[in-house]
Structures are given as C-alpha cells and as structure tokens.
Amino acid sequence: MRKQSIRMAAAAGAVLSASLITMNQALAADPWSFSANIGAVSNYIWRGVTQTGDQAAVQGGIDVNHESGFYAGTWISNIDWDEGSSQEVTGIVPVDPDTGLPMTDENGNYIVQGSTSGSDSSSPNYELDLYTGFGGNITDDLSWDINTIYYAYPDGRDSNFWEVGGSGTFKWFTLGLAYTIAGDNDGGPFDDGDWYFFGGAEFDLPYDFGFSVRGGYYDFRHDEEPVEYIAADGSLYTKNQSWDYWNWGASITREAGNFGTFSLNYDQNDGESDLGYNNDPKFWVGWNKEF
C-alpha cells in the first residue's frame, strides 16, 4: 500500500475538523497550506497486492505544504492480511492406516509434518504512514519529486519498514523508484535493500473523466523462500520460490465537484501463488474527497 504521487495504487483520504478548515482559510495568504482527505475503497490494493483480503477499507490523511515545494503528512487505513484466508498445508499430512484419511488432532485440524500458513495473531489491523518530500517544476511539462515514507503497523510485529524514493513526470507520463533502507522483517521481504520500480500515465477525458494506467516491478533483496512440496511418490522436497513480481493496473475516474472523486479500478500481479500471492484480476471501486 499512500498519496497518489507516492503510493500509486491506493485511494487516500482523511477526516478534517472544522477548526482545521478555519485555519486553512485564515492562512490562505501564508506560504504554508494545509489539506486533508477522506476516502473509502472496496479493496485496498497496494502495488498490485490486496492489503485487506479483498475487503473494503476506510482511509484518511492530513498534509502540510510549503510554497518552496516541501511537503509532509500522515495517512492511515485499516488492513487485514489474513481476511478470507484459510490454513494451507505446505508439508506432509500423515494418513491414518486404519481409515486411509488424513490424520487430525482432537480439534479437527490436520497434523502437519512440515509447515502451514494462515491466520497469525501478530498480523496488524491498521497501517499508519508518515512521509515527507520535496518537489518542483523544471518546465511547464517537466516536474520532479523526492520523498521518504515510513510504513508503520503499530499493532503488528516485524512489519514496519522505511523507504526513500523519487519520480519524474513529463506531461502525462511518470517514472520512479523506491528503495527500502530499513525494515523489521529480518531476512525477508521489506527488510532492507528492496527496489520497487514504477511507471504510469494519466490522461484527461471529456466530462471531467480521467483515465490512468500504471505498472511496477518489485525486486526484493532477500529474493527466495524455500517451499516444501510432496512428490508423486510421497517424498518431501523443497523448492526455492521468488518473492519478486510484476504488477499492472488501470483506473477510470470521475470528478463530482463537492462530492469528491469516484473511481473504477483494475489491478493484477504475477506473484508466485505458493508464496501467498493472489494473482487473479482485481476490480474495485473507490471514492475520495480532498478538503
């Protein structure tokens, strides 16, 4: 999973109090400006991967900007990395010689010789991002941006990570990259040394419609994960699977004045399903309003 210039696949938003609205009006002539947004999506997709188990999310953030090009802000969303998942066996389930059925414990769970994946009590329920950056225009058609963002998961474990990145935009086209400089997931993805390369294009259409396309590639430093399989002869063997993946998507948006912006979106990735990636096409709708 972020502001559209930083987190291309997410629809962001925030709740703004009446006091902040008053402050924003009072500081209209000031070099500093404040904004906020609130939004909702039917599926929170970040870099081609669902963060809510294909469920809905409510999201929001507050931003401060300076006329020099400096900006900073925070953003929050509910997440659920386990929603809709079930326990998957990646080891051997012994067969009861008397019944010929897979062996289970007293609670009906498979007895696994190997490993399983599924619900984890340490999985976080919300994401809190803190970011800052600096950007500007070189010409009317060419602009640039550099930023850093910290992805925090306060009620989770070993999930936080920190990125630096940058992008350039020429007319309708944007190219950029993000680099993970630190993370809590030692020896795994989102630890350190990961690269994410992305690009996209946005076009204005008649009647306040817009169309955009996006794509990216995640190159993880800790690239491979051993996955156990059962061969046809019943023997157990291990194969290394790559965490790296491509993602792509498109959006149609519609400005609705004081009612905000509505979007119809498509996203997909080609990650290894054995590592938990769901690479089915995702279609989702979103709404956000900026104050």
Instruction: Say which CATH number the domain at 129 has.
Output: 2.40.160.40
Contact 127, 135 (CB under 8 A): no
Residue 231 has pLDDT above 80, yes or no: no
Contact 46, 7 (CB under 8 A): yes
Question: Taking the CB of residue 133, how many other CB atoms lie within 10 A of it?
Answer: 21
Q: Is residue 9 part of a domain?
A: no
Domain count within the chain: 1
Q: Is residue 10 part of a domain?
A: no
Burial string for 61-95 (b: 16+ CB within 10 Å, else e) reads bbbebeeeeebbbbbbbbbbbeeebeeebbebbee
Given the structure tokens 């999985």, which residue do they identify?
Answer: 123
- Measured CA to CA, the distance from residue 8 to residue 218 in angstroms comes to 14
Give the residue-averaged pLDDT of 169-185: 96
According to DSSP, the residues that pair with 77 across neighbouring strands are: 59, 127
| Top-confidence residue, 252 or 15 | 252
Q: Is residue 112 part of a domain?
A: no
Band (pLDDT 50/70/90 cuts) for residue 267 is: very high
pLDDT of res. 157: 84
pLDDT of res. 21: 39
Question: Taking the CB of residue 187, how many other CB atoms lie within 10 A of it?
Answer: 7
Residue 168 has pLDDT above 60, yes or no: yes
Question: Taking the CB of residue 46, how many other CB atoms lie within 10 A of it?
Answer: 20
State what percent of residues in the chain have pLDDT above 70: 77
Range from 1-5, 132-136, 267-271 carrying the lowest mean pLDDT: 1-5
| Top-confidence residue, 224 or 210 | 210
Question: Taking the CB of residue 231, how many other CB atoms lie within 10 A of it?
Answer: 8
Q: Is residue 106 part of a domain?
A: no
Range from 120-124, 200-204, 277-281 carrying the lowest mean pLDDT: 120-124
Band (pLDDT 50/70/90 cuts) for residue 276 is: confident
pLDDT of res. 121: 53
Residue 16 has pLDDT above 90, yes or no: no
Could you give the residue ranges of the DSSP H alpha helices within 29-84? none
Give the residue-averaged pLDDT of 202-221: 97
Q: Is residue 103 part of a domain?
A: no
Give the residue-averaged pLDDT of 224-247: 84
Residue range 182-209, pLDDT digits in tens: 999 888 899 999 999 999 999 999 999 9
Band (pLDDT 50/70/90 cuts) for residue 115 is: low
Residue range 42-92, pLDDT digits in tens: 999 999 999 999 999 999 999 999 999 999 999 999 999 874 444 554 566
Band (pLDDT 50/70/90 cuts) for residue 2 is: very low
Given the structure tokens 């609205």, which residue do they identify?
Answer: 21
Could you give the residue ranges of the DSSP H alpha helices within 97-175? none
Band (pLDDT 50/70/90 cuts) for residue 240 is: confident
Which pair of structure tokens corresponds to residue 57? 């999310």
Q: Is residue 30 part of a domain?
A: yes
Query: In sequence order, what E strands does the chain have?
Result: 32-41, 45-46, 49-50, 57-66, 70-78, 88-89, 116-117, 126-137, 142-152, 161-170, 173-183, 195-204, 209-219, 224-230, 236-242, 245-255, 261-269, 282-290
Mean pLDDT of the chain: 84
pLDDT of res. 25: 46
Beta-strand relationship, 173-183 and 161-170: antiparallel
Q: Is residue 241 part of a domain?
A: yes
Band (pLDDT 50/70/90 cuts) for residue 215 is: very high
The domain in which residue 205 lies consists of 18-82+120-290
Q: Is residue 99 part of a domain?
A: no
